Amino acid sequence: MRLATWNVNSIRARVARTVEFAVRENVDVLAMQEIKCRPDQFPYGPFEDAGYEVHAHGLNQWNGVAIASRLPVDDVQTAFDGMPGFAKGMEGPDRPLEARAIGALVDGVRVWSLYVPNGRSLNDPHYLYKLDWLAALRGHVQAELARDPHLPMALVGDFNIAPTDADNGDPAVVEGVSTHVSPREREAFHALEEAGLADVVRPLVPAGFTYWDYKRLRFPRNEGMRIDFILGSPAFADAVTGASIHREERKGEIPSDHVPVVVDTDFRADDDDDVPMIFG
């Protein structure tokens, strides 16, 4: 399975480019974030023409996530257990859920396309929402792996956290002042690793950003951030054979401000009860 994640920043604005990438790069499963539309507005045609089945979750022009796959898809879910909601000026557990997660069983692999809340600023309610959301995600991962330690699972998407100082090259994003680099966000990211997930791209692609702001020549100056990740359970991580960050997708006509991140795996769904192959 070749799995990719990409914050497309509006699928309607960039559908041709998105599908061209998936086809050209031989992507089997493409997790998208910030599709910025409802399912009834999603441009399914170009994906289906290229052999992809799309499952989209969007409520309005904000957020929105999707999974496009040319492998069999089952058990689609539009929130993980315990995922909190958010609404401006509203507190507490009754806040409505946003379209920030879609999960599916794809050829035996549990894939989650995630768009972690931005946080906005350290003193904004959205920041606490971000931390709550990440804590709930950690809880979900722990429960899933407690239930089945061998579960092949990939959490992919825009985590809106630069886990190390080297992951932030944007001079406007400052430790102690900005979201994405604050200690509590970084702790929340590491808690996902403590829960049993591993960044499966980092060992193969140690350096490089996945996002550059549209403003202030951030891309030509290479003042970006590494905030898009593919986190795998042990069974998933063991199957990874390659990884790449597609910096070239930040160039050209109307690019997203994020680029795709890709992993190759040799995972087989029936590894646990492998049947010997008989030839002839």
Residues that bind DNA (CB under 7 A): 7, 9-10, 12-14, 34, 36-37, 41, 60-63, 88, 117-121, 126, 158, 160, 170, 172-173, 178-180, 211, 213-217, 225, 227, 254, 257-258
Q: Which one, 116 or 231, has the nearer CB to DNA?
A: 116
Smallest gap from Cβ 67 to DNA, in A, equals 19
Shortest distance, position 160 Cβ to DNA, whole Å? 5
| Single-letter residue type at 119 | G
DSSP 26: T
- CB of 178: closest distance to DNA in angstroms? 7
Structure tokens given for 119: 């946080």
Nearer CB in complex with DNA: 24/215: 215
Q: Which is nearer to DNA, 129 or 236 (CB)?
A: 129
Smallest gap from residue 119 Cβ to DNA (A): 7
Q: Which amino acid is at 237?
A: A
Nearer to DNA by Cβ, of 114 and 243: the residue is 114
Kindly state the DSSP code that residue 274 receives in the 8-state scheme.
P
What is the DSSP code string of 66-87?
Answer: EEEESS-EEEEESS-TT-----
C-alpha–C-alpha distance, residues 61 and 123, integer Å: 25
SS3 content of the chain, % helix, strand, coil (to 5): 25, 25, 50
Question: Which residues, other chains included, contact 151 with Cβ-Cβ below 8 Å and sequence gap of 6+?
Answer: 110, 144, 145, 233, 235
Least distance (Å) from DNA to the CB of residue 98? 8
- State which residue, 150 or 214, has the beta carbon closest to DNA: 214
| Tokens (6 digits) for 45 | 């045609």
